[in-house]
Amino acid sequence: MGAYIAARAGPDDTIFNLGRESQVYFYADRRPAVRYFYDYVYEYDEATVRITIDALRAEKPVYIIDSIQPPLYEPAQRPAEFERLLEEEYHYEGRVRFAELYRLKRD
């Protein structure tokens, strides 16, 4: 996954991982787009979802990675705010290994 992203994103591009696989930032050699790059915070403080969505809309990471997927985790529903962001600003690029990838729409 890291090699896939590194080959398709520029060195100054940011990415966002929705999930617990934060090592993807290291393997892709890309910075996280927002402050929260591990999803546990969303379970403990609901306000962080809105903060994160606002930051993602401002930062516009080239990739959003949903790594809360089988076989690593049970299927989970993303918060509605994340669904809206993905529908409005990202194309589904496909599944790479254990995650679903969404790439920023270009104008």
Rounded CA-CA distance 30/82 in Å is 21
Per-residue pLDDT, 107: 61
Domain ranges of the chain: 2-104
Q: Answer yes or no: is pLDDT of 77 > 90.
A: no
- pTM score above 0.75: yes
pLDDT in the model for residue 40: 66
Give the pLDDT of residue 73.
67
Give Cβ neighbours of residue 59 (< 8 Å, ≥ 6 apart): 14, 33, 34
pLDDT at 97 over 70: yes
Whether cis (ω within 30° of 0) applies to the bond prior to 79 is no
H or E segment and range at residue 91: strand 90-96
pLDDT band at 105 (very low <50, low <70, confident <90, very high): very high
Model confidence pLDDT, tens digit, residues 19-75: 888 899 999 999 999 987 667 677 778 888 899 999 999 999 999 998 876 666 676
